[in-house]
Amino acid sequence: MVVRIRLARFGNKHDPFYNIVVAQARSARGSKPLEVIGTYNPIPKRAASFSSENANLRPYKEIALDRTRAKYWLGVGAQPSDPVWKLLSMAGLVEPKPATFHKA
């Protein structure tokens, strides 16, 4: 069976929060994973705009990631799901996937 690195949704209604988990591909989203290797908060945060340099910043999303564990699981053949692939590519652990469509 395939081992995947994927997101497990936590949080409440309209307030999502994800654990980045390593789990068997066929297991349920809410079941206990093999391992938790990070978190992803998809609700964008805005830096407090007290100083002028913060005022023009874009809102940001927070990711926490255990790089060594992520590298290990990728090394033994765990397959990241598409959303996790995006996050891992931003962390510089995998090559970014080519965009499937191009804006005109």
Positions in the binding site for other proteins (CB under 8 A): 10-12, 17, 19, 32-33, 35-39, 44-45, 47-52, 54-55, 57-67, 69, 87, 90-91, 103
Residue 55 C-beta: closest distance to other proteins, Å = 7
Residue 79 C-beta: closest distance to other proteins, Å = 19
What's the rounded Cα separation, in Å, for the pair 45 and 58? Answer: 9
Residue 54 C-beta: closest distance to other proteins, Å = 8
What's the rounded Cα separation, in Å, for the pair 95 and 7? Answer: 19
Cβ distance 93 to 85 under 8 Å?
no
Nearer CB in complex with other proteins: 2/28: 28
Rg (alpha carbons) of the chain, rounded to whole number: 16
